[in-house]
Amino acid sequence: MVRKLRVAIVVGVAGVGKSTVLSYARKILEDEGYVVETLNYGDFMLKYVIEKGICRNRDEIRSLPLSEQRSVQSLVAKEMRNYINSLPLKYPEKDIVVFVDTHAVIKTATGFWPGLPEYVVKELKPDTIVVVEADPQLIVQRQSRDLSRYRKDYSDVGLVKEVMDFIRMFSVASATLVGASVSIVRNEENKAEEAGKSLAELVKGL
């Protein structure tokens, strides 16, 4: 039997609960025998810029000039793709799911920049791009409860809704470049496990 490698890029506005949804989806899939890897694009970027002495934290990454952002994004995408390509050799008898946890858009002082431009999405070659969403008011409330993840620039309901609209548009644009599907997974209050189940079922159907 030919085993499958599925790559799902998962995006969402800060505070939507993406990490929690991913953790539930991962457990469900692993319990069913899948090998599951969750790769955080931001972690790869942060490691690179710290090693190169370019930035000290995530906030400074968002302040980089666009040309430098592009360079770092491109290098990180290649590194992640090389890792993804190694997985079928490591687990030849297993079905593999790779979740790429990232952002479809990056809000900066000079506007919204694509988190998945052509030179990134064509390296990652996703089968699907999944947008995790919730009510904007709920997202602001979640952020206010979790001060470790609080972002002042995402504390306004109107702005959160605007960013969510951009995420949908940018996700469709990126998916079109590689023929990937786009889906919405709702993460309602106290229903993250249900959202995780929806994500797991979506990926299994690819």
Domain spans in the chain, listed from the N-terminal domain onward: 5-204
* Nearest of 142, 65, 130 to residue 99 by alpha carbon: 130
Task: Indicate the angle between helix axes 192-204 and 18-31, nearest 10 degrees.
Answer: 60
Report the CATH number of the 5-204 domain.
Answer: 3.40.50.300
Residue 142 has a pLDDT of: 77
Q: Give the tokens for residue 113.
A: 């920049």
* Nearest of 129, 97, 73, 133 to residue 5 by alpha carbon: 97
Residue 151 has a pLDDT of: 55
Residue 154 has a pLDDT of: 60
**Per-residue pLDDT of the chain in tens (206 residues, 90 and over written 9):** 457 999 999 999 988 999 999 999 999 999 999 999 999 998 888 888 888 888 888 777 767 777 787 888 898 999 999 999 999 999 999 999 999 999 999 887 788 889 999 999 999 999 999 999 999 998 888 777 665 554 555 668 998 999 999 999 999 999 999 999 999 999 998 899 999 999 999 999 99
pTM tops 0.85, yes or no? yes
Residue 1 has a pLDDT of: 45
Q: Give the tokens for residue 203.
A: 């990926």
> Are the C-beta atoms of 136 and 157 separated by less than 8 Å?
yes
* Nearest of 75, 66, 7 to residue 47 by alpha carbon: 75
DSSP readout, 142-165?
A: HHHH-GGG--GGG--HHHHHHHHH
**Amino acid, res. 95:** D
Residue 107 has a pLDDT of: 81
